[in-house]
Chains A and B, each alone.
Chain A
Amino acid sequence: GIQVEQSPPDLILQEGANSTLRCNFSDSVNNLQWFHQNPWGQLINLFYIPSGTKQNGRLSATTVATERYSLLYISSSQTTDSGVYFCAVTNTGGFKTIFGAGTRLFVKA
């Protein structure tokens, strides 16, 4: 099956810093999503981005489907950005959405 790798596994930032999270996947996909799991365990869909670039406030994401990777940018980080960021993909023609192991982010005040 399709493999999803996220890096880095852990990240500590000072409030106000910028960061880039990466997601690599092993096969062609027709669906790529980024999620934030907050400290209470809730999963929030940040981006649905099978290709191209999207922006939502301080967050933006880029997926280069032909090279099988996606990037999530967090600018001017805030303590509320802390949590785990997951990348999830669905392979082309399939219906199984597979998650990466996540990047655990802690933003210090």
Chain B
Amino acid sequence: NAGVTQTPKFQVLKTGQSMTLQCAQDMNHEYMSWYRQDPGMGLRLIHYSVGAGITDQGEVPNGYNVSRSTTEDFPLRLLSAAPSQTSVYFCASSRQGTGGGNQPQHFGDGTRLSIL
């Protein structure tokens, strides 16, 4: 099983450039989310989606854009990269729980992004 697939695994950008981090899952999960992890820290939620066409902001949404046109894909866009966005980015998916919340999350292997 492929699970959650993130591409690329590594990327170097220059300040001001834009790019899209890809995330795809093959488990028909309703819930998908993006996190960033900075050195020595936990994961911080950027954006999440509870289904196709529905997205919402997490803890640190500024500078990032998302869309959810299909159940399988949830791309993360950096509109104008800044050095402060240097981080490791993780995508996760899960089934939607009843009464809100979500079921066990499955994570991709991450994208290591450096912005010069």
Give chain A's interface residues, CB within 8 Å of chain B.
1, 29-31, 33, 35, 41-43, 45, 48, 86, 88, 90-102
Q: A1-B59, A86-B42, A99-B44 are in contact. Are A43 and B102 (CB under 8 A)?
A: no
Shortest B10–chain A CB gap in Å is 12
Shortest A11–chain B CB gap in Å is 15
Contacts of A92 in B (CB 8 A): 99-101
A48:B104 contact, CB within 8 angstroms:
yes
A94:B101 contact, CB within 8 angstroms:
yes
Our pick among B44, B104, B110 for the contact of A45 (Cβ within 8 Å) is: B104
Shortest B87–chain A CB gap in Å is 12
Interface of A is mostly: strand
Contacts of A30 in B (CB 8 A): 97, 99-101
Contacts of A42 in B (CB 8 A): 107, 109-110
